[in-house]
């Protein structure tokens, strides 16, 4: 329990805000209506809807869910689940969606009967409890947004999703109406895996036709965020002709020139897009319509491991009152230790996007001028940056090569090479061809330039080589965005079918050709051949129906 004397910073805020929060608290506590939860079979002791951060934080601390750090951020631990649990994720298989879904190792089918049984048990579990609702939006472009209702067992998770989604104005709250999608979240409910034929006590299930999702057994809040993303990735292409993207985005505040950064967790999307010289549109999830790029979210979810004030000042300073730290260890004075890995490598912080000083006011940008694919190559054989042709861009968009970094998923202890379709395979439910066609159409229409950026290793594989310096990567990204690379001298890499620039201001020229950084050139050749073969085998296995010209734009065999 945290008392007021120990954390005076918690209460050192504008008295008018405190008074407003007290009124909000009193009004909420006096409500007895269930906001429709009774129709789900939930008979709560009390229901709170769209509470302020102050009240949610106070309730979370009273519940023993977390503590306040020295900066005022709420620090929580998530127990057994410190990352996403992909083997516990399911899609309800119905006639209406069956032919649309890319079934396989990622998208697992489950019957509606099992889904409904689990949902009913969750509702019974939540009856008699204090329930927290957040009604908000996904989609910063009003023309394409969707309304979401998130029903939480825990106030700390309700604060998290309040931070991450788009918060409605006062008038929007009053006129919110029925949600387009509902997500029921109860980490305290543990599934009976044997009874229902699922993998564990956790279950993350989406019923696209019913517009309903459940998240049971896991307190890792990233599951909520990614469930929203998976829903948008299903709805946007089918209903809006919007390409959903697992990417960050920023733009020039003067010209409006927009750049987007694709990549899996830990490859640098958040870090590289948080450029003090550009406006941040968003750090993870976006749509590309004929009007431009728009953020799906109203917040950011950044990795904290080894967070450094000097290297990532925007993220570092965003960790204050209203933000939520996950699994970050603190000392006796409640000071976070961002280097502590004792709970997980996947330490995180969620915060509203306006905690970043240069965040875009409306979460929207123009048609992307530049696309950057970020890959953390654990083999150490990819060039730091390379220019892609149109077909090569589609190839690498589909392939999504990177290293799966430690802690992002349960059981991952060190980087592992992986191919994640569309740089976000776990969240892209539709068939790959649909997304690839939409991407290709946009490249053809707008002439957007695409670059592949290796934020991983150089001079050897993981364990032998070293991670490419962030300062070098920033210089390469800047050169791509400002157009310098349009006029650079290139050399063609036959094995990987890539165009490599030879000189970039601020980057040592010797690191541009990977082979030159290895002490043993023969070892490089062997490792590079192995990776090229992995690309070929992966593409032939996963994308046999992709056009031949796309397959030919990828790496070559020996």
Q: Is residue 24's pLDDT more than 90?
A: no
Catalytic residue among 48, 162, 246, 364: 246
Rounded-to-integer distance, Cα 362 and Cα 360, Å = 6
Q: Are 381 and 524 in contact (CB under 8 A)?
A: yes
Q: Is 226 a catalytic residue?
A: yes
Distance between CA 324 and CA 116 in Å, rounded? 31
Q: Where are the alpha helices (DSSP H) in 372-469?
A: 390-399, 432-446
* HSE-up (13 A, CA, CB side) for residue 349: 31
Residue 220: pLDDT above 70?
Answer: yes
Would the pTM count as exceeding 0.85? yes
Q: Which of 413-422, 426-435, 469-478 has the lowest mean pLDDT?
A: 413-422
Q: Would you call 495 exposed, middle or buried from its count of C-beta atoms within 10 A (0-12, 13-18, 19+)?
A: middle
| Catalytic entry in 284, 323, 386, 473 | 284
Which position has the higher pLDDT, 20 or 187? 187
Q: Name the β-bridge partners of 184.
A: 151, 214
pLDDT of amino acid 44? 95
- Could you tell me where the beta strands, DSSP code E, fall in 96-141? 108-110, 130-138
Contact 208, 110 (CB under 8 A): no
Task: Render pLDDT for 267-325 as a digit per residue (tens, 0 to 9).
Answer: 888 889 988 899 999 999 999 999 999 999 999 999 999 999 998 899 999 999 999 99
- Looking at residue 418, its pLDDT comes to 85
Q: Is 348 annotated in the active site? A: yes
CA distance 395 to 553: 7
Catalytic-labelled residue, pool 48, 49, 59, 84: 84
Q: What would the DSSP string read from start to end of 71-100?
A: TS-EEE--TT--SB-GGGEEEE--TTTGGG
pLDDT digits (tens, 9 = 90+) for 500-551: 999 999 999 999 999 999 999 999 999 999 999 999 999 999 999 999 999 9
Cβ-proximal residues to 352 (8 Å cutoff; 6+ apart), any chain: 163, 167, 298, 299, 300, 322, 323
Catalytic residue among 226, 278, 303, 442: 226
The pLDDT, as a whole number, for residue 274 is: 82
Cα(390)–Cα(371) distance, integer angstroms:
11
pLDDT score of 233 more than 50: yes
Mean pLDDT, residues 39-65: 96
**What residues have CB less than 8 Å from 431, skipping those under 6 apart?**
100, 101, 102
Q: Which residue bears the tokens 């490089």?
A: 524
The yes-or-no answer on residue 7 being catalytic is no
Q: Determine which one of 102, 265, 273, 330 is catalytic.
A: 265
β-pairing verdict for 146-152 and 181-186: parallel
Structure token digits, residue 11: 């209460």
Residue 272 φ/ψ, nearest 5 degrees: -75, -25
For the question of residue 269 being annotated catalytic, the response is yes
- DSSP string for residues in 507-552: S-GGGSSGGGG-S-HHHHHHHHHHHHHHHHHHHHHH-TTS-HHHHT
Catalytic, 309? Answer no
Q: And the tokens for 539? A: 């593409």
Q: Is the pLDDT of residue 340 over 70?
A: yes
In this prediction, residue 477 carries a pLDDT of 97
Sign for the CA dihedral angle at 275, 281, 286, 292 comes to negative
pLDDT reported for residue 407: 52
**Nearest Cα to Cα of residue 279 among 301, 309, 249:** 249
Average pLDDT over residues 434-451: 98
Q: Among this protein's residues, is 270 annotated catalytic?
A: yes
Strand partners, 279: 251
Q: What is the pLDDT of residue 393?
A: 98
Helix (H) or strand (E) holding 30: helix 15-30
Instruction: Evaluate if residue 6 carries a pLDDT over 80.
Output: no
Among candidate residues 270, 386, 399, 408, the one labeled active-site is 270
Choose among 90, 81, 28, 100: nearest CA to 59.
Answer: 28
pLDDT digits (tens, 9 = 90+) for 101-156: 999 989 999 999 999 999 999 999 999 999 999 999 999 999 999 999 999 999 99
Q: Which of 167, 278, 334, 348 is catalytic?
A: 348
């Amino acid at each position: 329990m945290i008392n007021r004397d120990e954390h005076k910073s918690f209460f050192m805020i504008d008295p008018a805000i405190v008074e407003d929060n007290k009124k909000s608290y009193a009004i909420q506590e006096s409500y007895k209506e269930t906001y429709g939860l009774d129709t789900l079979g939930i008979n709560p002791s009390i229901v709170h809807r769209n509470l302020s951060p102050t009240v949610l934080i106070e309730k979370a601390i009273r519940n023993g869910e977390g503590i306040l750090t020295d900066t005022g951020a709420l620090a929580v631990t998530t127990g057994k689940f410190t990352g996403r649990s992909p083997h516990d994720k399911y899609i309800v298989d119905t006639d209406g969606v069956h032919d649309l879904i890319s079934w396989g190792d990622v998208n697992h089918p489950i019957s509606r009967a099992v889904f409904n049984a689990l949902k009913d048990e969750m509702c019974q579990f939540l009856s008699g409890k204090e329930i927290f609702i957040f009604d908000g939006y996904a989609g910063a472009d009003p023309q394409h947004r969707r309304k979401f209702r998130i029903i939480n067992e825990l106030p700390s998770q309700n604060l998290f999703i309040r931070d991450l989604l788009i918060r409605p104005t006062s008038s929007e709250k009053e006129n919110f109406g029925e949600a387009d999608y509902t997500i029921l979240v109860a980490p305290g409910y543990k599934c009976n895996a044997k009874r229902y034929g699922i993998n564990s006590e956790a279950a993350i299930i989406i019923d696209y036709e019913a517009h309903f999702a459940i998240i049971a057994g896991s307190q890792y809040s990233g599951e909520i965020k990614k469930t929203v993303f998976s829903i948008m990735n299903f709805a946007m292409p089918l209903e809006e002709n919007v390409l959903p993207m697992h990417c960050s985005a920023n733009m020039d505040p003067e010209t409006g020139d927009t750049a987007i950064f694709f990549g899996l967790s830990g490859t640098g999307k958040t870090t590289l897009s948080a450029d003090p010289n550009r406006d941040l549109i968003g750090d993870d999830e976006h749509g590309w319509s004929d009007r431009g790029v728009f953020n799906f979210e109203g917040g950011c979810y950044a990795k904290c491991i080894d967070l450094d004030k000097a290297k990532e000042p925007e993220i570092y300073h965003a960790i204050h009152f209203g933000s939520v730290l996950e699994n970050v260890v603190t000392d006796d004075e409640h000071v976070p230790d961002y280097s502590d890995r004792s709970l997980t490598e996947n330490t995180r912080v969620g915060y509203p996007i306006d905690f970043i000083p240069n965040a875009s006011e409306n979460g929207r940008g123009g048609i992307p001028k530049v696309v950057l694919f970020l890959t953390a190559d654990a083999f150490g054989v990819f060039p730091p940056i390379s220019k892609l042709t149109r077909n090569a861009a589609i190839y690498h968009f589909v392939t999504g090569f990177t290293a799966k970094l430690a802690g992002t998923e349960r059981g991952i202890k060190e980087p592992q090479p992986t191919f994640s379709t569309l740089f976000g395979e776990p969240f892209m439910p539709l068939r790959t061809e649909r997304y690839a066609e939409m991407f290709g159409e946009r490249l053809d229409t707008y002439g957007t330039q695409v670059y592949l950026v290796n934020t991983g290793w150089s001079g050897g594989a993981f364990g032998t080589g070293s991670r490419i310096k962030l300062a070098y990567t920033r210089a390469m990204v800047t050169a791509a965005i400002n157009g310098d690379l349009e006029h650079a001298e290139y050399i063609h890499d036959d094995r990987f079918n890539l165009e490599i620039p030879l000189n970039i201001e601020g980057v040592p020229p010797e690191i541009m050709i990977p082979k030159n950084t290895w002490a043993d050139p023969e070892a490089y050749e062997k490792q590079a051949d192995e990776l090229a073969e992995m690309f070929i085998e992966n593409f032939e296995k996963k994308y046999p129906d992709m056009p031949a010209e796309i397959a030919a734009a990828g790496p070559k065999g020996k």
